Amino acid sequence: MMNYKNEVVRKFADLFSKKPDVYFSPGRINLIGEHIDYNDGYVMPGAINKGVWFAFALNNTDQLNFHAFDLRENLSVPINSLKKTGGWKNYVLGVVNEFVKDGKEIKGFDCVFGGDIPKGAGVSSSAAVEGGLAMVINNVMNFGYDRKHLALICQRAEHDFPGVNCGIMDQYANLFGKKEHVLILDCKAITHEYLPFYFPEYNIILVNSNVHHSLADSAYNQRRRECDEGLKILKQNTGVNSFRAVESDEQLRAVKNQMDETVYRRCLFVVQEILRTKKAAQFLRNRDLESFGKLMFQTHEGLSNLYEVSCEELDFLVNFSAGFEGVAGARLMGGGFGGCTINLVEKKSQEEFMQQIGEVYKQRFGIDANCYEVALADGVHSCDTN
């Protein structure tokens, strides 16, 4: 198997003939609490042991030189002409641009990055790129920002350059992840607590549908607008000023006739998902994985029927998991419209699960589904270069 860290460092030496600082920036999973980070909810993400390695050094010029290792693509831009372009370039330039907007003096640098995280698969390769770059710039240039500030910079970068109006979950999890723990992230206060997630008989298995329906970004921004509209109506007609203050479906139903049918369904999902995530945290504290897993299936149903961010391929995968004996819980993960499902699978039936789900998926769609076992890991950190 390829050792990405070594490969990235070797590439850096080939291209720039000097010794870099090296950082690892993880992808993330989310156990429960989907599409509610931008709706003032609570979410339950964690960083994983797959991600992006960065090799980085100052170059005493006014140029920023990037090499995207996996794509074998280069980018060189002068510091004073940061502009939106396309693809991965927007993610790195967007981050640099936020430091500049903050009045920080960026110095020229060379950077190679690459990793073993699937792209466009709902594990936030984008936050891994943003968070890793933000951290290494912050440390090498001594800007002194804390992790929360860096997460906020990365979120703003994603809004501005790639133009995805994301919540804070991905960037926060990338920076604050902790081995064998998930975060309970309060997305209104932007604070977190850690909860252990260690069940020795289970593994977290991601199943990548290997589809990525192209409407993902536009539909994401549209969901945000629909929720904003719903919240406005809620505020006007009730004393409630946040989705988290709604205590039951009935409370929302009271304003149903004021809302467009679609907006109502989006709001119903949000209200239910916030309550579900709170319940899930309680189950986790009680180490009740069975009840926890049932809530994951309910989340999937809501994402599919009310929030409408699933697709045939993801529904098929979750449906298979629901019928497989060793799976405690499964659902689509991340923005939706493709990417991965997350599955809590008993270790003893893991091999059989991975083999069977691959087979039936291939039969049905003619596409290979990749399965990855992932572990909860620490957030962005520097690595030994020896």
Answer for which of 334, 338, 339, 379 binds ligand GLA (CB under 6 A) is: 334
Smallest distance from ligand GLA to CB 124, Å: 6
Smallest distance from ligand GLA to CB 220, Å: 7
Size of the site for ligand GLA (CB under 6 A): 11
From the CA atom positions of the chain, what is the Rg in Å? 21
Smallest distance from ligand GLA to CB 34, Å: 4
Residue 166 as a binder of ligand GLA (CB under 6 A): the answer is yes
CB atoms within 10 A of CB 315: 17
| Closest CB to ligand GLA among residues 25, 124 | 124
Binding mask 114-143 for ligand GLA (x = CB under 6 A): ----------x-------------------
Could you give the count of Cα atoms lying within 13 Å of 227 in the half-sphere of its Cβ?
A: 27
Smallest distance from ligand GLA to CB 164, Å: 7
Q: How far apart are CA 200 and CA 313, in angstroms?
A: 30
3-state secondary structure of 278: helix
Helices (H) and strands (E) in the chain, counts: 11, 14
Q: Residue 162 in contact with residue 94, Cβ under 8 Å? A: yes
CB atoms within 10 A of CB 297: 18
Stretch that binds ligand GLA, among 85-93, 162-170, 286-294, 342-350 (CB under 6 A): 162-170
Instruction: Please report, as a single letter, which amino acid is at residue 289.
Output: L
Residue 37 as a binder of ligand GLA (CB under 6 A): the answer is yes
170 is catalytic: yes
Which tokens hold the place of 80?
């004073």
Please name the residues in contact with 329: beta carbons below 8 A apart, sequence gap of 6 or more: 289, 292, 293, 294, 295, 296, 297, 343, 344
Residue 169 as a binder of ligand GLA (CB under 6 A): the answer is yes
Smallest distance from ligand GLA to CB 81, Å: 28
| Closest CB to ligand GLA among residues 210, 350 | 210
Residue 150 as a binder of ligand GLA (CB under 6 A): the answer is no
Residue 335 as a binder of ligand GLA (CB under 6 A): the answer is yes
Residue for token digits 């005493």? 60
Partner residues linked to 114 by β-bridges: 53
Answer for which of 27, 167, 230, 302 binds ligand GLA (CB under 6 A) is: 167
| Closest CB to ligand GLA among residues 22, 123 | 123
DSSP letter for 214, please: T
CB atoms within 10 A of CB 49: 17
Stretch that binds ligand GLA, among 32-40, 71-79, 297-305, 350-358 (CB under 6 A): 32-40
Stretch that binds ligand GLA, among 133-141, 163-171, 235-243, 300-308 (CB under 6 A): 163-171
Answer for which of 16, 24, 38, 91 binds ligand GLA (CB under 6 A) is: 38
DSSP letter for 32, please: S
Smallest distance from ligand GLA to CB 231, Å: 16
Answer for which of 110, 170, 226, 273 binds ligand GLA (CB under 6 A) is: 170
Strands 109-115 and 63-68: parallel
Which has the closest alpha carbon to 131: 10, 9, 28, 13? 28
Q: Which of 37, 40, 110, 170 is catalytic?
A: 170
Where in 277-316 is the site for ligand GLA (CB under 6 A)?
none
Smallest distance from ligand GLA to CB 263, Å: 18
Helix ranges, the chain (H)? 4-16, 87-101, 125-140, 147-160, 169-176, 216-237, 249-253, 261-285, 289-305, 312-322, 350-365
| Closest CB to ligand GLA among residues 42, 66 | 42
Q: Which residues bind ligand GLA (CB under 6 A)?
A: 34-35, 37-38, 124, 166-167, 169-170, 334-335
Annotated catalytic residues are: 170
